[in-house]
Amino acid sequence: MNISVPGVDRGPVAGSKQPIVPAGRMLPFVLVTALFFLWAIPNNLNDILIRQFMKSFALSRFEAGFVQTAFYLGYFGLAIPAGMIMRRFGYKTGILTGLCLLASGSFLFWPAANAGSYSFFLLALFVIASGLSFLETAANPMIVRIGSPENSEQRLNLSQAFNPLGSICAVLVGTLFIFSGVELTQSQVAERQAAGTYAAYLHSEILRVITPYLALGVIALLLALLIARTKFPSLDAEEETQDAGHGHGLGVLLQRHFLLGLAAQFLYVGAQVCTWSYFIQYVQSYAGVPERTAGYMLTGTMAAFAIGRFLSAWLLKFIRADRLLALFAVGNVVLVLVAILQTNWIGAICLLSSSFFMSMMFPTIFALGIHGLGSRTKTGGSLMVMAIIGGAALTPLMGKISDGLSVSIAYTVPCICYVGVGLYAWFGARPKAMKTI
């Protein structure tokens, strides 16, 4: 029996001299990084859909929150199958499967809109998220393993920095093409109901979602064609080599830093989805702005998110990943507390700014969590993606609190989550010694 410390010999260091991307792997790196941009679009169109479906289907905040539930159940349900397929056929097969599922779910928006069925939309969102589960299960660990382990957190943060650019694109597209800008008063609703034109108005609002999703499906298929024609590096042999002396059974998944990383990822994704899903409702309620202005403000949160991603990728050259994560978590706890207590423009600006500090959390927790997993990296990545179920579990809870009390009080949910992320970063992110046979 010997004692080994998987991941500690190359833990979250700063100032690595290794190149971010090894020679000969730049094209696969760029194509996989493009996926981070792509999957941000359906993720963040959900925030627009919640508001749009509240209007077109006359839903409560709690009922509209099931947009996120259906979406993140897709992530949860397909993560393990995605990991199994990739352990058998490799990362590239997983990516192509994910892109085909994404395209299929996007095309389902056309019949769902024509049928005027909220349930049909939830099914389409489930299929889209199933595809994204494959993409995230493949892309995140592939970016971690495509280069030196010494700068994996920096590399993943760099790729993830393009994710908020997709978020900005999504919110702008949703604001311009899905939001009509027509918000009827109660008297106007009554007038249209009396004239028999209200149902036609609601259906016209539903049809506005078709074009963006058809375009998304076409883009996914084109990217799949490009990736299919590109040679990807084989990382499986490298993973086996790095396992030497560390063991590669399922026992490596019981490491404390990995299990706590799953919990932290659950809390973080729940906090992010909650913050963005009810941001439009918050600023409309407390800043008194129309839906399109609120949509542009949501775009501002994505811009803050993008700035945070690029800046944190640079800061990780000098600051240890777990310590920077802890500092960013503290920043978000403070900002969300102010938003809860100051229900005005100050609170709205604080919520907008919180996206800056949440920016580096997902990739950093992901990279810290899968340190030392070796050939179980794909399985560990699958479980990390399954932790995204936090978005499905916590968003309806926040909607229920919002309906019963207020939108501002409901923001205690993400605030508590950020506290949990901070505790993980400070006390649980570093790998501990593990006995191996």
Which one is the CATH code of 22-431: 3.20.20.140, 1.20.1250.20, 1.10.260.40, 3.40.50.10860?
Answer: 1.20.1250.20
Positive or negative torsion for Cα 264, 5, 83, 321:
positive
Given this model, what pLDDT does residue 46 score?
A: 85
Integer Cα distance of 285 and 265 in angstroms: 30
- 272-293: string of b/e by CB count within 10 Å (b at 16+)? bbbbbbbbbbbbbbbbebebeb
**Type of residue at 212:** P
Rounded to 5 degrees, φ, ψ at 436 are -135, 155
H/E element holding 255? none
Residue 3 has which token pair?
Answer: 């004692």
pTM over 0.75: no
Q: Do the Cβ atoms of 394 and 255 come closer than 8 Å? A: no
Integer Cα distance of 415 and 333 in angstroms: 5
**Type of residue at 328:** F
Integer Cα distance of 364 and 128 in angstroms: 25
Range 112-116 contact pairs with CB under 8 angstroms and sequence separation of 24 or more: 113/206, 113/207, 113/209, 113/210, 114/207, 116/203, 116/206
Integer Cα distance of 397 and 410 in angstroms: 8
Cβ neighbours of 114 (radius 10 Å):
13
Integer Cα distance of 388 and 167 in angstroms: 17
Given this model, what pLDDT does residue 250 score?
A: 55
Angle of helix 91-107 relative to helix 26-56, nearest 10 degrees, comes to 30
pLDDT (tens, 9 = 90+) of the chain, 437 residues, equals 333 333 334 444 454 567 777 777 889 899 999 999 999 899 888 878 888 888 888 887 778 878 878 888 887 888 888 888 887 888 899 999 999 999 999 999 999 999 999 999 999 999 999 999 899 888 888 887 787 777 777 788 788 888 888 888 888 888 888 877 677 777 887 888 788 888 888 888 889 989 999 999 999 999 999 999 998 887 655 555 554 444 455 566 667 778 888 899 999 999 998 898 888 888 888 888 877 788 788 888 888 988 988 888 788 888 888 899 999 999 999 999 999 998 889 999 999 999 999 988 988 898 888 776 666 667 777 788 788 888 778 888 888 888 888 888 999 999 999 999 999 988 876 766 444 43
Q: Do the Cβ atoms of 409 and 401 come closer than 8 Å? A: yes
CB burial of residue 62 (10 Å; 0-12, 13-18, 19+): middle
Given this model, what pLDDT does residue 5 score?
A: 35
Q: Do the Cβ atoms of 185 and 290 come closer than 8 Å? A: no
H/E element holding 115? helix 109-115
Residue 154 has which token pair?
Answer: 């920096």
Given this model, what pLDDT does residue 423 score?
A: 93
Integer Cα distance of 155 and 34 in angstroms: 14
Given this model, what pLDDT does residue 376 score?
A: 67
